[in-house]
Structure 1
């Protein structure tokens, strides 16, 4: 069974191998060496590296924070000094994916991190906004297992899977900012008439993993799923558009709040948006059969809300990459960033 835009094993969807962040120099390197208010790609990259370095040092006070800043960790507002990440991160490389929007002063990044062990086992993904070379917004998420989001997950495979995002072909035809903004506007609008051509080798990932749907009974596909642009897809009329538009690499980041249910899926579970009515009905039927034919312990379908940043890559007139990054909260939740 395959869900449109979502998989039964997962419901939604980064690129350069992680290397150690050099702490020396990063915490002292100035990002305000020019007289104007613009922050270049180099400036934005430095600030992202500073954020990761400050986590490793367990010291957010070294960051160029604005006098007043907004910040959330896994949807919870908090001062950086009260966040878990600044207490637990023990290893972090350079971002596997880094999208930079110098027009709006925003960036999105994702990487695998360690928390208290040498094994990379968590996925960190984040959005920041910079004004006058100071951080005004930090939207941070850390997923530590499939239970945080209800779909495919692999911190170990994230760096390799996201390499191609940061190394698009040098002879590519870049889309205009207007085209990329149109793509953002259509991402969570199933009524959009925007026609999107999907490249044959478009890469579809969820939380670091190329998605393989084994089916709830283990007899499904063994081949990674590709990207899709179906008419039936999760909708959010209040979706946060154009969060990051990286014109150089053709990357678009769009935010949405998606209500749904966490369903049993074999011995594990999967998040299925309420807009995917057919997928939920199929899982209801599977659950009814399992209840009648086995004594397997199964999670009861439970309402939940997925806060997601979907990341798309588009060039040469085609969709080249699709990632869904999502964090689950309770039912009827809203985002602090949508206010």
Structure 2
């Protein structure tokens, strides 16, 4: 994948200097071959590489866009030429996680990127949909720190955490497309009796980081939390299910709009969904305790909405990966994609 990405960057740098439109002369023969006929996994991977490389050269106009396309950046709609990513990203790719759905012509990607700083890297993630080798939908998010989502964050640990997910065991039992679809439909369902077995080594991350429970805020726990499939979970009756279903690697991507509150959390803050009532109640107890001690500088609990692109990986009849990827906006918001 890396050599393909590097050739894409080189091709697009040339294209950016030669023309504002993607032309056959702007890509090598191998790239041209990938964009002929049906878009298979290699073709979809190449298009994702094109998206990332176009950000590096700050030129979205060299992408193979459909005549009419839909696009959002951090939940708000805009033409690609007006998006921040194509102005700020200076280094990107290849993706650390890439899920590809050749049936729907869609893909999900996630990676750490530079916006001019080698020490403060951002996390870029997104979804692309392709019809006739042209991009018809592009949904991107840039999380720069945990304030963008109120969850744990680590651009530095993302590559190593995601590396194992891209190379599952060769002798695994793959889930059917129907099973992965059912998993997606149950994730944010208001009513579902689906039982999901969780593998003992299931990797649980929030925005690139393996989550460590700090408990009562003063312990020394360093063991990452495992995944869970709780009966009490955030729900969204309008969830966008099965956005990407990768039958080869077992990934499924689902989006939900989750209502919740941003609470003070030690000296920072955290987003807690309204469905997690016990967690909100525990945070209220803690808040009252620290207020009684005269602690100052605490954020007032504030209503918010978390827009998710949640990623699950399922094979060997068990959940292997759960990624909670959130971008926050104001209260009672809905998705531009509905």
2:258: which partner in 1? 258
Deviation for aligned residue 1:35: 5.8
Which residue of structure 2 lines up, in the alignment, with residue 166 of structure 1? 166
* 1:18–1:96 contact (8 Å) kept in structure 2: no
TM-score (norm 2): 0.91
Of Structure 1 and Structure 2, the greater helix share is in: 2
Residues 306 and 317 of structure 1: CA distance in aligned 2, closer, same or farther (over 3 Å): same
Superposition deviation, residue 21 in structure 1: 3.8
Q: Which residue of 2 aligns with 1:207?
A: 207
Check 1:135–1:62 CA distance in 2 against 1; reply closer, same or farther (3 A cut).
Answer: same
Identify if the C-alpha distance between structure 1 residues 222 and 18 changes in structure 2 by more than 3 Å, giving closer, same or farther. farther
- TM-score normalised by structure 1 residue count: 0.91
Following the alignment from structure 1 to structure 2, what is the Cα–Cα distance between the partners of residues 19 and 134?
A: 19
Contact 1:120 1:156 in 2 (8 A): no
Structure 2 Cα separation of the partners of residues 278 and 34 of structure 1: 51
Inter-CA distance 31–298: structure 2 relative to 1 (3 Å threshold): farther
Report if aligned partners of 1:31, 1:46 keep a CA contact under 8 Å in 2: no
What's 2:298 paired with? 298
Matches of 1:150 and 1:323, distance apart in 2 = 14
Identify if the C-alpha distance between structure 1 residues 47 and 271 changes in structure 2 by more than 3 Å, giving closer, same or farther: same
For the aligned residue pairs, the C-alpha RMSD in angstroms reads: 1.9
Aligned equivalent of 1:24: 10
Aligned to 2:202, what secondary structure does the other structure show? strand
Say whether 1:281 aligns with 2:267: no
How many residues end up aligned between the 2 structures?
322
More relative contact order, 1 or 2 (CA 8 Å, 6+ apart): 1
Q: Which secondary structure state, in structure 1, belongs to the residue aligned with residue 325 of structure 2? A: strand
Deviations 1:112-158 (A, max 9, x none): 00001233510000001000000000000000001000011000100
Separation in structure 1 between the aligned mates of residue 36 and residue 126 of structure 2, nearest angstrom: 28
Change (3 A) 1:285 1:113: same
- Give 1:133-172 correspondences, 5 Å limit: 133-172=133-172
TM-superposed CA distance for 1:217, in Å, is 2.7
Q: CA contact under 8 A between 1:73 and 1:83: conserved in structure 2?
A: yes
Deviation per residue, 1:254-308 (Å, 9 max, x gap): 0000000000011011100011111111111111111111233100000000000
Q: CA 1:68–1:175 in 2, change beyond 3 Å: closer, same or farther?
A: same
Structure 2: runs of 5 or more not aligned = 13-25
